[in-house]
Amino acid sequence: MEVEVRGVERYWNPILETLPPLKLKAYQFKKFKRIIAWAYEKSKLYRSIYDKAGFKPEHLKKWDDISKVPIVEKEDYLTAQAKEPWPYGDSLCVPLEKVTTYHQTSGITGQPVYQPETWQDWEWWSETWAFALWAHGFRNNDRVLIPFGYNVYMASWAGHYASEKIGCEVVPGGILNTEERILKMRELGVTSFMATPSYALNMAEVCRNNLGMDPREMGIKKILCSGEPGASVPNIKKRIEEVWNTKVYDQVSATEVGGWAYECASQPEGLHVNEAFFLVELVDVDTREPIEELNVPGKIVITAFDQYAQPCIRFDTKDISMWGKPCDCGRTFRILKDGIHGRVDHITKIKGVLFNPVSVEDVVRSTPELGDEYEIIVKKEREVDEVTLRVELAPDVSIPEDEIKRKLSRQLRLKTNLSFNLELLPPHTLPRPEVKVKRFKDYRI
């Protein structure tokens, strides 16, 4: 195990990460007003939304006035980017010559959002990730593999630049396949890597089954997980930590927003919001009223204080979380308990019961007789909702399938209040994802 880091060495930015709450709030309000003024002056997108709502930057006199600023959604970006000049239309706030990098959202839920950055924006992006890496314990004696194809998506680049920034030695995993990546890790004595929770499990499986190597003996000291909810859910984290015999740290990032939340080495079963760079608000899903109480789920609305090419102000992420109690690591940044719980558009009603697919993942990961891959299928049969869980068995399971089904059924009912049809599949039947995976398939619409 690694030596615990104490004192200011614990923080990437010892001043900002430990600002007393009132000072932090004053700092945030100042930065909030600055980005609002910038967007109102430079962005046709924001100006038209604000004018339509009758909002002007000078209306921001006190903290509570923030709730008067209209919330924007992904669709607002898409509408603005559909205008001339292509590809950024009304969303770009700087001359095109100032744009130095291009990224885009994954487009899993439709048309992608194009993301321009100035060099200043891009420096800021890697800084947001540096806070996370440092809090996870990454230092200049780490050799880090980035096992993703470097392309138009953000995560591999941000992880790469931030690792370099804090002094790690970066091994770009680029176009290597999973087996080649693992062999490269062993060859070089890599100490850590970054992955989605699914891919971290997939890599362990390939390591064991295809290469005959034990992932627990690879000497991996930590894994940064990002890109999917899960690494803050205790059973999911535990499963990844066990298969790699390591520590897993969660980090949340979104292309339109930045790397805005991270887990610290104290692992408080939640994530610190980087409140020096972002204003994170939790609002009621229906009424959009602010939620300040602990343990009350709400939707996350984010402002990035320092994105200038394409500002992100009161952006509706559609992610769900809740505030948790403060962490003992000394950071004053607030905690989002269990990280991201899922997305509003994935939470649906089945047989009249509110259902979040992440709760099924929690059950699957806490059942040792089950493998890592599964899918949830919802259909309508004779006007009645039917929900099926298809899940792979772990290799060499000796317990009868009926017994596993009984146990699984009980756990699912406890967590979701629903009865599932269960299909237990042989190991390695379902496809293995490298990046984001669609495990929830709702065929009712």
Q: Taking CB under 5 A as the criterion, which residues in 266-305 touch Zn ion?
A: 266
Pairing between strand 99-104 and 114-118? antiparallel
DSSP-derived secondary structure for 332-344: -S-EEETS--EEG
- Count of chain residues binding Zn ion (CB under 5 A): 5
Please identify which residue in 72, 203, 264, 378 interacts with Zn ion, judged by CB under 5 A: 264
Integer Cα distance of 72 and 45 in angstroms: 10
- Which H/E stretch holds residue 360? helix 358-365
Please identify which residue in 279, 304, 327, 387 interacts with Zn ion, judged by CB under 5 A: 327
Within 13 Å, how many C-alpha atoms sit on residue 196's CB side? 15
Q: Which stretch binds Zn ion (CB under 5 A): 116-124, 189-197, 263-271, 395-403?
A: 263-271
Q: Is 348 in the site for Zn ion (CB under 5 A)?
A: no
Q: Which stretch binds Zn ion (CB under 5 A): 47-55, 104-112, 124-132, 265-273?
A: 265-273
Instruction: Say if CB 160 and CB 170 are below 8 A apart.
Output: yes
Minimum Å gap between C-beta 263 and Zn ion is: 8
Map tokens 């089950």 to a residue.
Answer: 370
N-to-C CA span, the chain:
50
Q: Which stretch binds Zn ion (CB under 5 A): 114-122, 284-292, 321-329, 383-391?
A: 321-329
Within 13 Å, how many C-alpha atoms sit on residue 15's CB side? 1
Q: Long-range contacts: 420-423, Cβ < 8 Å, 24+?
A: 420/387, 420/388, 420/389, 421/386, 421/387, 421/388, 421/389, 422/388, 422/389, 422/391, 423/388, 423/389, 423/390, 423/391
Minimum Å gap between C-beta 281 and Zn ion is: 21
Q: Is 235 in the site for Zn ion (CB under 5 A)?
A: no
Q: Which stretch binds Zn ion (CB under 5 A): 6-14, 48-56, 60-68, 327-335?
A: 327-335
Q: Which stretch binds Zn ion (CB under 5 A): 226-234, 323-331, 379-387, 432-440?
A: 323-331
Q: Is 329 in the site for Zn ion (CB under 5 A)?
A: yes
Minimum Å gap between C-beta 168 and Zn ion is: 21
Residue 377: helix, strand or coil by DSSP? Answer: strand
Supply 66's token pair. 């923030």
| Closer CB to Zn ion, 93 or 132, in the complex | 132
| Closer CB to Zn ion, 3 or 384, in the complex | 3
| Closer CB to Zn ion, 11 or 193, in the complex | 11
Minimum Å gap between C-beta 11 and Zn ion is: 10
| Closer CB to Zn ion, 138 or 440, in the complex | 138
Q: Which stretch binds Zn ion (CB under 5 A): 13-21, 38-46, 226-234, 325-333?
A: 325-333
Minimum Å gap between C-beta 135 and Zn ion is: 7
Minimum Å gap between C-beta 374 and Zn ion is: 32
Integer Cα distance of 194 and 202 in angstroms: 13
Instruction: Say if CB 154 and CB 114 are below 8 A apart.
Output: no
Point out which residues bind Zn ion (CB under 5 A): 264, 266, 327, 329, 331
